[in-house]
Amino acid sequence: VAPIRTQVAIVGAGPAGLVLAHLLHLRGIESVVLEARSRGYLEQRVRAGVLEAPTVQLLCDAGVGERLQRESLRHRGISLRFDRTDHHLDFVALTGRSITVYGQQEVVKDLIAARLAAGLPLHFEVADVRLRGIETDEPEVAFTDGDGVHRILAAPVIAGCDGFHGVCRPQIPAGRLTVFERDYPFAWLGILAKAAPAQEEVTYAHSDRGFALASMRTAEMARLYLQVPPDEPLEDWPDGRIWDELNARLAVEGSAPLNVGPILERGVTTMRSFVVEPMRHGQLFLAGDAAHIVPPTGAKGMNLAVADVAVLAEAVERFFATGDSALLDGYSVRCLRRVWRAEHFSWWMTSMLHLAPGADAFERRLQLSQLRYVTSSEAAATSLAENYVGLPYGS
Ligand code: RFL
Ligand code: PHB
């Protein structure tokens, strides 16, 4: 079969790959997106839920924010619970900006719909993705399409948007990337339940039983998390135990218990901090989780993926318009500034809120002191708030 020729080959149709494809289309640049999973799988995969202000702005400016504007929940801030007391942080008062609750799979649905409606190429259920010649000017992506046909995609620029477990990053020769990594001695057990959220805003709880988080997707759908040991078997957590533990950890003086409902989805997520430098090798540009992972405590992962491809789209546009690769050459350095800010914020939120195995009273006192500080000092609260709502692009 003759090779498919395009300007940008995009591996992965998560938030990074789909937003990139859309931004390129708006700039008149052709791309082909290759995705290992089916459309149905992507649209059901429950993941992130909190969008930063700059992410919302970008999606709306790009013309894919219509349903988001209509159906998302706009929140003024978050709550931090400790010492069995609720402490509200009002981000709008502190920074003038709010956060938006809208499921990642809803963002993905909107972007897939926009791409297919425009008749643009998006191949689901591809396999055997292999990169060739990424150190040359004529790189290629070999793959097997959903019908089992072997194909070649030839494109001057390849975007590795295939997530942490993808195939692009491992094809960069050993020794060309520096890896920075931290594992955490705990995981999150997450559930999606058909139950009205008991809290008005996203609520993070520090407790002697471990961390818990109460979030939501809609007025009828709660998204809840419990800190558990790494590799915790789900079988050890029948529904009753999950609800009891959430109630025990989230309880504050005088609070009503959570609304209980059927659990529609459940899973255990490992926690990791991970960055590769540079986010590029030859003509391969890594974006999103393919290049960096944050623990979910700061709600930064999806937002970082979108921020990366905003930079990449601009650089690619310049390259194809003028042949000038200065912005492509600066891609990694520019992204990594934001990445490391989010890495720090996510690590800090994680360390402040979780119960590390073997933590002694000294560490617990430090956590409580920090929690009291960020909920009582306007300067400290503003620092948390500006990171959480998302620092402006380019800062
Ligand atoms: P994704 O979403 O993993 O997409 C990568 C895509 O690449 C495909 N793929 C391949 N395609 C072709 N060939 C291959 N060989 C391929 N290998 C993989 C995959 O099928 C997939 O479709 O990466 P992307 O686009 O970089 O987006 C990153 C985000 O998904 C991630 O950072 C967030 O979900 C992280 N995250 C959160 N981020 C937030 O901003 N706010 C949150 O509130 C938040 N909460 C979370 C989270 C992640 C969680 N989990 C489950 C990891 C909560 C959880 C529980
Ligand atoms: C979510 O709603 O899934 C969520 C909210 C806040 C986080 C992580 C996940 O920090």
Atom 30 (ligand 1) nearest CA: 302
CA 256 to centroid of chain Cα atoms: 31
Q: Which residue's alpha carbon is nearest to atom 4 within ligand 2?
A: 49
Is the Cβ atom of 383 under 6 angstroms away from ligand 1?
Answer: no
- Measured from the Cα of 46, ligand 2's closest atom is 3
Contacts of 358 (CB under 8 A, 6+ apart): none
Q: Whose CA is nearest to atom 2 of ligand 2?
A: 49
The pairs formed by 257-260 with CB atoms below 8 angstroms and a separation of 24 or more are 257/198, 258/195, 258/198, 258/214, 258/222, 258/224, 259/195, 259/196, 259/197, 259/198, 259/222, 260/193, 260/195
pLDDT of 46: 87
Q: What pLDDT does 48 receive?
A: 86
Bond into 278 cis (ω within 30) = yes
Is residue 144 within a helix (H) or strand (E), and if so which, with residue range? strand 140-144
Ligand 1 in reach of 54 Cβ (< 6 A):
no
Decide: 49 in ligand 1 pocket, CB within 6 A. Answer: yes
CB 205 within 8 A of CB 83: no
Distance 157 CA to ligand 2 centre (A): 33
Name which residue sits closest to atom 50 of ligand 1, judged by CA: 47
Q: Which of 303, 200, 299, 213 is nearest to 250 (CA)?
A: 213
Please tell me what DSSP assigns to residue 290.
G
- Long-range contacts of 196-200, Cβ-Cβ distance < 8 Å, separation of 24 or more: 196/220, 196/222, 196/259, 196/261, 197/221, 197/222, 197/259, 198/222, 198/255, 198/256, 198/257, 198/258, 198/259, 199/79, 199/250, 200/75
- The span from the CA of 89 to the CA of 366, in Å, is 20
Cα–Cα distances in angstroms (integers) from residue 392 to residues 68, 275, 292, in the given order: 20, 21, 20
Q: pLDDT per residue over 290-311, tens digit each?
A: 999 999 999 999 999 999 999 9
Choosing from 75, 294, 302 the residue with most ligand 1 atoms within 8 A of its CB, the one to mutate for a pocket test is 302
Q: If you measure from the C-alpha of residue 315 to the centroid of ligand 1, how many angstroms do you get, rounded to a whole number?
A: 23
Give the separation between CA 156 and CA 158, rounded to whole angstroms.
7
pTM across the whole model: 0.96
Q: How far apart are CA 157 and CA 35, in angstroms?
A: 17
Residues in contact with 337: Cβ distance below 8 Å, sequence separation at least 6, in sequence order? none
Structure confidence at residue 1 (pLDDT): 77
How is residue 42 written in tokens? 């992507």
CA of 14 to the centre of ligand 1 (A): 6
Residue 178 has a pLDDT of 97
Query: What is the structure's pLDDT at 272?
Result: 97
pLDDT of residue 379: 98
Residues annotated as catalytic are 75, 204, 296, 300, 388
CA distance 199 to 6: 48
**Regions of the chain where pLDDT drops below 70:** none
Q: Are 9 and 129 in contact (CB under 8 A)?
A: no
H-only helix segments in 154-267: 239-250
> Is 210 near ligand 1, meaning CB less than 6 Å away?
no
Q: Give the span between the Cα atoms of 305 and 43, in whole angstroms.
A: 18
- Choose which residue among 41, 100, 104 to substitute to test ligand 1 binding: the one with the highest number of ligand atoms within 8 A of its C-beta: 104
Please indicate whether residue 140, judged by its CB atom, sits closer than 6 Å to ligand 1. Answer: no
Q: Can you tell me the distance from the alpha carbon of 29 to that of 316, in angstroms, rounded to the nearest whole number?
A: 9
